[in-house]
Amino acid sequence: MKKGCMIALIVLAALLIIIIGGAFVSYKIGDQKYGLSLAPAISHERAMKGDTRIRLALYPDRVASFLPAYMPSNIKIPTGLLEMDDVLRSALPREVAVLLNTDIQNKKLLLTLFANEKFFGRLMKDAANGSEFFTSVRQVHWLTDGFELPERGFLYAEGDMPIPDTVEEELYKLWPTAAKEPAAPIEGKSHAELVIDNRNGDIMTVAAALVQASGQNWDTLVETQYGATAIGIMESIRVGRLKANLMDTDTAAMDLRIDSDAERGPGLQFLLSGMALPYLRDFIKKQYNLILEGDLSWNADENAILGTFKLTGLEAFIKSKIAQGQ
């Protein structure tokens, strides 16, 4: 090989190495800045603090195929050769969770927001922190500077709310013995799942914090007939679990299970079926034009209230909410 050809090949190889190296460095910088690589799967359990007994988990990427139907016609998202639901399935987080646990000694309700992002975690963080979300939720004292992303796939924010001083005495009166069982976990097989483990009375503690945050007096409320009835309901619940799945763009199927006991369970089922469900059906029909079908029954063999429901009218409701936010 001639000397000139050899030099040309060496120069070409050097240029190729520089190009490949530059592309790699650019990718690494872009990955660190924007999150271009696939983040690891991380459960909300990594974000739990203390004895977390109230959890709401959503799985956005599982409903990606339904989402294009809700998008307004004037919104066009470039997807290239890919289908919209495939793009959404890749971009949406695997899991989004709201976690609540109570710190009775310090009289605080602890709140954690968590998301297991797949791609573009830093962009999600910056977009959320640049919005009015954290300043609009004034009832919460945020302990983090908005969302934080200490590692890929782990996006979280933490805050707390005060609990009324008198809750502790009432709590120990109704739940004198702490639960020995670990907190009921999220099963994680649905599109959305809410689990409330009330064996330590956490429902009452959360209710008291929310009542106080709304500007009302908790002590005054519990002295009313409404307050006494509400506390009676709370006392009857051991563990509640609600699972929801989209069946189509307009319909969601929901399963509810409330573990109680033979003494309180039948009365709770009667109260919920006779008063709470009719009120809920009427309220969501008038306010949101949503139709809720189904009922609750007492299962003596399982010591549980069981219910299967269907919620329809979702497509028009979701489209209207998106249109309002444009």
Q: What is the pLDDT of residues 154-209, one digit of tens each?
A: 999 999 999 999 999 999 999 988 888 999 999 999 999 999 999 999 999 999 99
Structure confidence at residue 138 (pLDDT):
85
From CA 287, how far away is CA 302, in angstroms rounded?
Answer: 35
Asked if pLDDT for residue 5 goes beyond 80, the answer is no
Contacts of 206 (CB under 8 A, 6+ apart): 54, 100, 102, 109
Cβ contact 296:306 at 8 Å:
yes
Q: What tokens appear for 95 in the block?
A: 């899991």
Structure confidence at residue 226 (pLDDT):
86
Contacts of 128 (CB under 8 A, 6+ apart): 146, 147
Continuous segment of H or E residues that includes residue 124: helix 121-129
Q: For residues 143-149, give the mean pLDDT.
A: 95
Q: Which of 154, 159, 152 is nearest to 133 (CA)?
A: 159
The domain spans of the chain are 1-34
Q: Which of 93, 118, 96 is nearest to 40 (CA)?
A: 118
Percent of the chain with pLDDT over 90: 68
Structure confidence at residue 130 (pLDDT):
92
Cβ contact 298:305 at 8 Å:
yes
* Residue 325, CA distances (Å) to 89, 286, 321 in order: 22, 21, 6
